[in-house]
Structure 1
């Protein structure tokens, strides 16, 4: 009679196991992390450089769906921070990770989540150097603090745009807002008559934003003001103008939309407001020194993502918004995503 083999039960996860198995590999041997064995990390700042620091928190049910693929959640958590650094002209150096896990996040979830972080950090040359992990009754929450470096005095702030400066935006806007609607199935997106590939593209733009780090050297050289578009093109443009103390106009006809977004807009023109105010784009909106416009456009022509001229900065006191074909600033009921709205 054959003996039934013993069942080997997996050891329960402990905080040290989580650190050793899933997060220590993300340090990639960075000396700043001190092997994730100390109470803090130690960052060496090169001579004549400054440290740029940004922080974002993502909460299940607000910034992502709890059942989104964990690798996508990891990617997004890091990507939104790298987008902030890119908008400031800061090259990513390292990051801290704080996790408030719910009780459904087991070994498989953590492994996939760490893989999403690892894949993106390898592309952009940054490493995990520390953090903290707790288990709660939910919801799942992820907070990353990212550190970047700029040559001293070169960080691109929101303030600094001047009347006459041309305004540019990277990539396309509105895709993620549509992807969120599809992911939520609100409204019924079948009326948009999208092919499966278009649906997948829009959802991927929501799940996996792409930080535009290749723009960093050109922002440092040419930009007078910059902001990453997290809350929507219109609202973030108004924030940039407010901090700079200027007005400005984005021309509706110049706003870059993807082919799937344009198809949706053709089927439902009322989606325009969603495209420019929905948020989650993580593109970069910025102004360039007016005297350097030609040189800038020549330099960025070879990037692997589009950079579109969309309007002009105006003097203080003038309107700030999106102008329709008649040249008048359009009115919107909703200008951006607002956590308190």
Structure 2
């Protein structure tokens, strides 16, 4: 884990190597391949009978989280959204690599809070920090994490693999993420804190890995939006998807919000396209296993069609667009 600088760049207020040793070396958990973060590279040992599954997500201040968000929450979400990708692949996480670009507003206290939040969740999920990089930037704050997981050889669940006639099902509840953002922005009330909690500290569905390996033909995590991510499965599988938004599982907070909207179809569509739920949408050859709610089916053709009260709804934007 190192911190190269461009010629003429302003040096940091503290020595980066001592800070890495103080803040991030404890997060390796003593993993031998991390070499106490004293090298420019790490070694990931082989595990016979397993495939190494690798995923990467980045977060940018003002895009993926509000300006002024607490550093510890940023770190926790950064790890969790990556673990969500591994969960949808039915892979058990074990290690990660971190890259952080600190802007001027991130002083010693903010950097310590970031490392503390990351360390709490690394411990909670049994993941070791294996290496990475720290740099300075004029802004905004940017962080990227690469997560590593193991899946039994040939058993990773891909987006491709869904077949016409499969049941489309989703875990947990949908729409809390987009409503959580609305609450953070002051657009709606969130007296229980459920919605903002789901936005800021999502729970990767690692508890579903075995069920996905045993039963799913295909899967994706719901990060861009339920309709968008079901569409990713359909596109990769060379088929179409038909969704019944009336069957979409909602939390009590989201259901109450829908009941208060003048246009129910538009409200359900907003929840189905908002993203940031970090649940798993999957295709199953029959009834889905426990933890999943059936919401549609895989069909011949292409694209995604959605219905409310039996009537088709226009899906102009399927979800979050990165570009």
Q: Same fold (TM over 0.5)?
A: yes
Q: Mark the structure with the bigger radius of gyration.
A: 1
TM-superposed CA distance for 1:318, in Å, is 5.9
Q: How does 1:152-301 map to 2 (within 5 A)?
A: 152-185=153-186, 188-189=187-188, 194=189, 196-197=191-192, 200-268=193-261, 269=264, 270-290=266-286, 293=287, 297=289, 300=290
Q: How does 1:324-339 map to 2 (within 5 A)?
A: 324-326=308-310, 328-339=311-322
Aligned residues: 309
Task: Report the TM-score when normalising by structure 2.
Answer: 0.92
Q: CA deviation at 1:183?
A: 1.1
Structure 2 CA distance for aligned equivalents of residues 128 and 146 of structure 1 = 9
Partner of 1:303: none
Unaligned runs of 5+ in 2: 1-11
Cα distance in structure 1, aligned partners of 2:296 and 2:270: 20
Aligned Cα RMSD in Å? 1.6
| 1:1-341 equivalences in 2 (<5 Å) | 12-185=13-186, 188-189=187-188, 194=189, 196-197=191-192, 200-268=193-261, 269=264, 270-290=266-286, 293=287, 297=289, 300=290, 306-315=291-300, 317=301, 320-326=304-310, 328-340=311-323
Shift in Å at residue 250 of structure 1? Answer: 1.6
TM-score, length basis structure 1: 0.87
C-alpha offsets along residues 159-189 of structure 1, whole Å, 9 cap, x if unaligned? 001111111111111111011112122xx32
Q: Which runs of 5+ in 1 are unaligned?
A: 1-10, 301-305
Runs (4+) of structure 1 moved beyond 2 Å?
269-273, 318-321
Q: For 2:177 and 2:257, how far apart are their aligned partners in 1? A: 13
Q: CA deviation at 1:117?
A: 1.3
**CA distance in structure 2 between the partners assigned to 1:120 and 1:309 by the alignment:** 31
Deviation of 1:322 after TM superposition, in Å, equals 1.8
Q: 1 CA distance for matches of 2:23 and 2:320? A: 33
